[in-house]
Amino acid sequence: MYSSSPTESPPSGGGKIALRKVKSFYFDKDVLNVVSKVGEFSKAVFTITNNGTEKLDFIISVSKLEDYVTIPTRIFSLEHGKSLKIETIVIAPKEPKVYTTSIIVEADGIVQELPIIINVETAEKLFDVELEIVHPKNKQIKPGEDITARVEIFSLKDTGAVDVILSYILKDQNNNVIINESSAIAVDIRTSIFKDIHIPDYLRPGKYVLVAEVRYKGMVTSASSVITVVGKVVTTSAITDIERLKRNYILIVIIAIFIITLLIIFISYIRKNKYLLEKIRAKIKYKLKNILKIIHNKIQEFQKRRAYRKMASGMKGVKKIQKDILKMQQALVKKEKDILKLQEIEKRKTYLKSLALKEKGLKREIQKLKGKRKRKK
């Protein structure tokens, strides 16, 4: 169940004891997961319960994909302790893949979101997919950490071992793609795969959807799971990074000047002792190496953060690349069909040639028999 934080009203004055007023409601589900074929209608139902002490007036809306998600009951009221089932109608888009959005429910200043996952598959499929988050078990993770997922792929028909395209996709509740990793794998009757996925440092706390998608010869099937990103977000502000880097450089320079001054003072006292001088020189080299290493690490950290910003701003380019990859996959499927047709034509040509050779042999035998009959006559 997904419950809101209760809103309390202060007791009335005048010395009288008043009942505490609480405004609160919850959903009976954490997520609406819809599996549908291309172009089909599906229904999903969830229940809203007013578990406070006051009557609440509700307004429901959809954050994204309004053309595909319809909620007939959008405005209503609930007395305390009452519940209402809300029906959601989903029209599957024409492109088979996973879509994400959320239902926004507002009641007297309390706002909650219920994630919706729309798994759109092709009408025909050869495989079924299951996705399980192995680590962490509670599906809660901090930015910069890794999650471990287990994907089970089941063959629904006796196709033997074939190569499929397996994609791992991470989306937010507004249908934006954050991660998209694809690879070709060999699949037999049942195949189990473990995958470590790195959660970017720049992700904000909230709910995200991890998708395992299998594509084979134009057929698509998928499975999904909701994860929660918790904790503070690593800032990617260029100004903040530069200012912090400047402060670190100034501090390093001051420390370096102080150390060099001390070394000069020490050297002036120990010039007569060569052994001690060599020892001090070795220490100087060691400290200078450490200072250079610190500077190098700071520069690398700054470059990584700049790369993360470029990655966040380059999501549009990633979507374009995804579309190009899909077009290439479709072209490969078409080429495979053309190759199969050519192979079938070659087989027929070979068969016709063998028939022609047999016909020639038969003609020769007939001619030989005719010659023998003439000789006997």
- Residues 68 and 128 placed together within one structural domain of the fold: no
Q: Considering the domain boundaries, does residue 376 fall inside one?
A: no
pLDDT for res 270: 66
Q: Considering the domain boundaries, does residue 155 fall inside one?
A: yes
Instruction: Return the biggest CA–CA distance within the chain.
Output: 143
- Residues 107 and 169 placed together within one structural domain of the fold: no
- Residues 215 and 128 placed together within one structural domain of the fold: yes
Overall domain count for the chain? 3
**pLDDT for 144-198, tens place per residue?**
899 999 999 988 888 788 999 999 999 998 899 999 999 999 998 889 999 999 9
Q: Considering the domain boundaries, does residue 333 fall inside one?
A: no
CA distances (Å), 344 to each of 340, 354, 356, in order?
A: 6, 16, 19
Q: Which residues of 319-355 are buried (b: 16+ CB within 10 A; e: fewer)?
A: eeebeeeeeebeeeeeeeeeeeeeeeeeeeeeeeeee
- Residues 135 and 180 placed together within one structural domain of the fold: yes
What is the Cβ-side half-sphere exposure of residue 332, based on CA atoms within 13 angstroms? Answer: 13
User: Domain with 54 in it: what CATH number?
Assistant: 2.60.40.10
49, 83 Cβ separation under 8 angstroms: yes
Question: End of a domain among 166, 201, 233?
Answer: 233
Q: Which residues form the domain of 275?
A: 238-315
Q: What are phi and psi of 281, to 5 degrees?
A: -60, -40
**pLDDT for 214-260, tens place per residue?**
999 889 999 999 999 998 644 444 445 556 666 677 888 888 888 88
